[in-house]
Amino acid sequence: MEIIEKVTACAGFADEKKAKDVVVLELLGLTDVADYFLLASGTSERHVRTIAESIETGMKEMGIRPYSLEGHDEGRWVIIDYQNVIVHVFLEPLRELYDLESLWIEAPRYRFNRENKRLEVENG
């Protein structure tokens, strides 16, 4: 599976559970940590866990298992590591506090379009 297909699938699974503000940051050439970050927000701890579970389950059905999973029990900031794609599902106030979008301000950004189920360039 191509990496863009992987990150688009993750965004789609997040969107299916009504994740708020789904954004993908392209980190190619900016860091060795990952090629893409997917950021999404939930409105409650339960919502955050539900979004993360949807992504994890959907990816497993596609034959892709996470390298690691952190924060699921707390439901405040769940990180799912697919090695070249790292998914961050935040409780809204924590996303504002840590502001990864500003930390990676130079990264091209994409938003998930619900209509055509694709990522669309926001900047870059």
| Domains of the chain, residue spans | 3-113
Beta bridge partners of 41: 20, 90
At residue 83's C-alpha, the angle toward residues 3 and 80, to 5°, is 100
d(CA 65, CA 81): 9
pTM tops 0.75: yes
Domain 3-113 belongs to what topology?
Answer: Beta Polymerase; domain 2 (3.30.460)
Please report, in tens digits, the pLDDT of each residue of the chain (124 residues total): 799 999 999 999 999 999 999 999 999 999 999 999 999 999 999 999 999 999 999 999 999 999 999 999 999 999 999 999 999 999 999 999 999 999 999 999 999 888 888 899 986 5
Helix and strand totals (H; E) in the chain:
4, 7
